[in-house]
Amino acid sequence: MDKSTNPGRRQRAHRSQQLRIRGLTWDQIAAVWETDHPEIGPRIALRWAINASHQEVADRWNELDSGESTMVKARIYQFEHWPEKGRRPSIAALHALARIYQVQGRRLLTNAEYALYNAADRAEIDRIDYRHLDANFTGAGPSPGASPAFPGTAEVASPSLS
């Protein structure tokens, strides 16, 4: 992935906010990022949609996990870059990521990646669904001036282009 052509965080925040205001879900915003940047995978596109860093995703993971804080930004990076390099997300990891990004588990994987899981795991992946957590999923868009619901960052709510 050529980082020189990727949008900066402020650009991602502004674009995601504009799409969010138009009523798009996090899933739909990620699809826009994937269309514009076909070199990125679905897990990167979803992180871009919510305008989060690897560390912020790891922090949210740790907030969701009632046990010890064990997720680190390097592991999020590894999940994003699998299967070329990195680490394959477990079913539990897909659950956590789907909850953070408020999407279906299947949305986190390309068709080729999905095929690398066994049949029982694919059946479980197909049952993962956290879209109901996305305020825009039901058609209830954000009210004017309101901050987007978690998982968006403050920068998505109030992007600064200065």
Would you state the structure tokens that stand for residue 139, as one six-digit string?
A: 């058609």
Assess if residue 140 is contained within a domain. no
Assess if residue 76 is contained within a domain. yes
Q: Domain containing 88: what range?
A: 7-135
Residue 152 confidence (pLDDT): 56
Q: Please choose, from the candidates 125, 53, 47, the residue with its C-alpha nearest in 3D space to the C-alpha of residue 88.
A: 125
133 close to 102: Cβ distance less than 8 angstroms: yes
Residue 139 falls in which region: left (phi positive, over 0), alpha (psi -120 to 50) or beta:
left
Assess if residue 64 is contained within a domain. yes
Assess if residue 12 is contained within a domain. yes
Assess if residue 144 is contained within a domain. no
Q: Specify the number of domains making up the chain.
A: 1
Residue 65 confidence (pLDDT): 80
Distance CA 47, CA 144 (A): 24
Answer whether residue 148 shows pLDDT above 90: no
Please tell me the pTM assigned to this model: 0.82
Amino acid at 56: E
Mean pLDDT of the chain: 86
Assess if residue 151 is contained within a domain. no
